[in-house]
Amino acid sequence: MRTTVGIVGGGPAGLLLARLLHNAGVASVVLERRDRAYVERRQRAGILEQATVDALRAAGAGERMDREGMPHDGIELRFGRRAHRIDFPALTGGRRVMVYAQTEVVKDLIALQLADGGPLLFDAQVLGVDGADTSRPSVRYLHEGREQILTCSYVIGCDGFHGVARDGVPASVRTDFTRDYPYSWLGILAEAPPAQDELVYAHSARGFALASMRSPSVSRLYLQVPNGTDTADWPAERIWDELDARFAIDADPAGRLARGPVLSTAVLPMRSHVTEPMRFGRLFLAGDAAHIVPPTGAKGLNLAAADVIVLARALIEHTRTGSEELLDAYSDTCLRRVWRAEHFSYFMTTTLHTDPAQSAFDTRLQLAQLDRIASSKHAAAELAENYTGLPLPH
């Protein structure tokens, strides 16, 4: 096959990029190594920044999101056995976030792509990207039992942290920055009403906890656990008891979460990573292929969306005018936002989690920072502005 833009990876980043390009008349092909059923049930982030919501609407993928998604105007911080709400619209000039699971975003984008978009091939295992520094790069992939080649004008790597696209950037020009954290999350999906109407982030001596939701009847919950934790060590009763202990506050000492069947559990390691540059020749990296963040700041999916929004503008501009100015600026433009999001995610993670090796002094520093957010409009606004998402570059 031949196309203008070859997209490696059929997750939300690759699918959103394909849709934005299709709407502007730019041809693309999406190659996804998993089958459709797997992609549509792959559990990931569920918090959408305002810019991501706007982009999905502009792409024609906002109808079900607006009908079924849950707009949120804030979050609650719990620490020192007290609670404090962060009011997003009041602190940001009206911005808010939307709770709408990545699985649903992907379903919406897949349906659009298959209905009237360019080719979307599932079970297409990409083997490598060749000729990234030439005028006609290509993607080698296995599909329907044989090796095939997709020749493109540009290749976009949206295949995640463990994908092959990043290897197309030679080690001689690539720098990888990584930080691993000394704890993981136990992710819990439960058939139980959410604890609150908005997300609750809890700092406690027992470790971090987060109460989120997927729908009015399904909760998404997280507990800080040691690295290497076995989910078998966490039966349902232990999970609920530990959640109650970590969310406890003096204003509601008998408060308990609504309990229900635990549908699934998984251990999620915590890592920060950035690859520079995000472009080599005609190969561009986007989303987790270029950077990952710990999920505490709800930035992963939103960073990926911001990357492809910037990239779609650049590709469309080049198609219409021949100018490569925006393409040449892509890596630097995105990395400024990436490092800001990396810092915010690091801040949220290290402020709310209890490091197994930290001292009582370290804990008091965390509580002092949280108290500053609760007592200062300026500190709260800094958190709210970063959480709801900084403006995209024009």
* 62-87 pLDDT, tens digit each: 999 999 999 999 999 999 999 999 99
Query: From the candidates 100, 201, 222, 330, which is the catalytic residue?
Result: 201
- What is the C-alpha separation between 163 and 102, in angstroms, rounded? 19
DSSP 8-state code for residue 116: H
Query: Do β-strands 70-72 and 97-99 pair in parallel, antiparallel, or remain unpaired?
Result: antiparallel
Query: From the candidates 295, 318, 330, 353, which is the catalytic residue?
Result: 295
Compute how many other C-beta atoms are within 10 angstroms of the C-beta atom of residue 41: 10
CATH number of domain containing 219: 3.30.9.10
Q: Is residue 155 a part of any domain in this protein?
A: yes
Q: Is residue 346 annotated as part of the catalytic site, yes or no?
A: no
Query: From the candidates 181, 222, 330, 387, which is the catalytic residue?
Result: 387
For the record, the structure tokens of 22 come out as: 């299709």
Give the tens place of pLDDT for each residue, 115-148.
999 999 999 999 999 999 999 999 999 999 999 9
Query: Within this chain, do residues 361 and 346 fall inside the same structural domain, yes or no?
Result: no
Q: Is residue 299 annotated as part of the catalytic site, yes or no?
A: yes
Query: From the candidates 12, 22, 72, 203, which is the catalytic residue?
Result: 72
What are the CA-CA distances from residue 149 to residues 27, 124, 140 (Å)?
17, 11, 5
Decide: helix, strand or coil at residue 201. strand
Q: What is the pLDDT of residue 394?
A: 66
Query: From the candidates 107, 299, 318, 353, which is the catalytic residue?
Result: 299
Q: Is residue 195 a part of any domain in this protein?
A: yes
CATH number of domain containing 124: 3.50.50.60
Contact 129, 151 (CB under 8 A): no
Q: What is the pLDDT of residue 393?
A: 74
Query: Within this chain, do residues 228 and 316 fall inside the same structural domain, yes or no?
Result: no
Q: Is residue 91 a part of any domain in this protein?
A: no
Give the tens place of pLDDT for each residue, 261-289.
999 999 999 999 999 999 999 999 999 99
Query: Within this chain, do residues 343 and 276 fall inside the same structural domain, yes or no?
Result: yes
Query: Within this chain, do residues 203 and 244 fall inside the same structural domain, yes or no?
Result: yes
Q: Is residue 84 a part of any domain in this protein?
A: no
Query: Within this chain, do residues 112 and 260 fall inside the same structural domain, yes or no?
Result: no
- Domain of 231 in residue numbering reads as 181-269+356-388
pTM: 0.94
Q: Is residue 141 annotated as part of the catalytic site, yes or no?
A: no
